[in-house]
Structure 1
Amino acid sequence: MKITHATTWIVGNPWKNWLFVRLDTDRPGLYGIGEGTINGFAKTTEAAVHELAGRYEGMDPFQIETILQRMSRDLYTEGGQIHMNAVAAIETACWDIIGKETGHPIYDLIGGRYHESLPAYANGWYAGPRTAESFSERAQLVIDKGYKALKFDPFGAAWRTMSPEDRHLSIDIVRAVRETVGPDV
């Protein structure tokens, strides 16, 4: 079996665009999907996937370690985030191909299932006014849906430094959310 071609898609998302990679093989209908999203560099990572094509096209997707070495060590570079996100997308697509070919989920191929289930946390639920009241109301809506964990950013646009007003507002937001959801969330 050989990898014959890579197709990429950038899927729009308000927070960051997602990059997906499809590796086709010489087996009709057998392909793998990988994901290589990185904040702000979807097009650059997409270009890296295609630039690396000479390192994986024509290769057997079962030879993951060889493919990885060809995309990293053989280039004599550490690569950085963009390069390694492209490599990760290609690697994941190879694992997907192997899983489909062998009839096993990827987690079985890389060591087996460790948990029967994993709890989910709610994220992205706090869009709206940056007030303690708004965060509190939205947190309650999420809890009403059954979530037992929330992730949120009370700091708004603050980066590295905050005014005293922003700091106090952030503390008020966290306090309001905690009071709303209680101690067990």
Structure 2
Amino acid sequence: MRITRVKTYIVDGGFRPWTFVKIETSDPGLVGWGDCTDWGSPGPVAATVERYAERIIGKDPMASEAIWWELSAFSVRHTGGIAYKAM
């Protein structure tokens, strides 16, 4: 099983926007959902997720810790910030 597609969805939640991530896999019908909502900046968080997508396409989604560390090393120049919201 491999990651084949990553898609973000910004949804109006009434009092704030929600940012969801859908990860599709090579196994038909098997997807994963995540929430990376920021209280006021859904666009930049979604853009960061989409930037990360190119780095994780083809990876094993069950290796989530390895993926997290790879994305962390790729993006972190200091602790915290928008990059951690996207992960």
Stretches of structure 1 lacking an aligned partner (at least 5 in a row): 88-185
Match of 2:12 in 1: 12
Separation (CA, whole Å) in 2 of partners of 1:65 and 1:78: 19
Moved over 4 A (4+): none
TM-score after normalising by structure 2 = 0.90
Please, which moves more after superposition, 30-39 or 73-82? 73-82
Name the % identity: 34
1:132 — aligned with what? none
What is the CA-CA distance between 1:76 and the residue it aligns to? 4.7
The root-mean-square deviation of aligned C-alpha atoms, in Å, is 1.5
| 8 Å contact from structure 2 (residues 3, 60) kept in 1 | yes
Provide the C-alpha distance between the structure 1 equivalents of 2:22 and 2:60, rounded to a whole number of angstroms: 15
Report which of the two has the higher share of strand. 2
Q: String of CA shifts for 1:122-166, please: whole Å, max 9, x gaps.
A: xxxxxxxxxxxxxxxxxxxxxxxxxxxxxxxxxxxxxxxxxxxxx
Aligned equivalent of 2:27: 27
The one-letter amino acid paired with 2:4 is T
State the AA in 2 paired with 1:49: V
Structure with bigger gyration radius: 1
Conserved? CA contact 2:76–2:83, under 8 Å = no
Structure 1 segment 169-180 matched on structure 2, within 5 A: none
SS in 2 for 1:27: coil
Hey, what's the Cα distance between the residues in 2 that align with 1:66 and 1:44? 24
Match of 1:52 in 2: 52
Contact 1:41/1:82 (CA < 8 Å) preserved in 2? Answer: no
Report the structure, 1 or 2, having the larger helix content.
1
1:42 to 2:42 alignment? yes
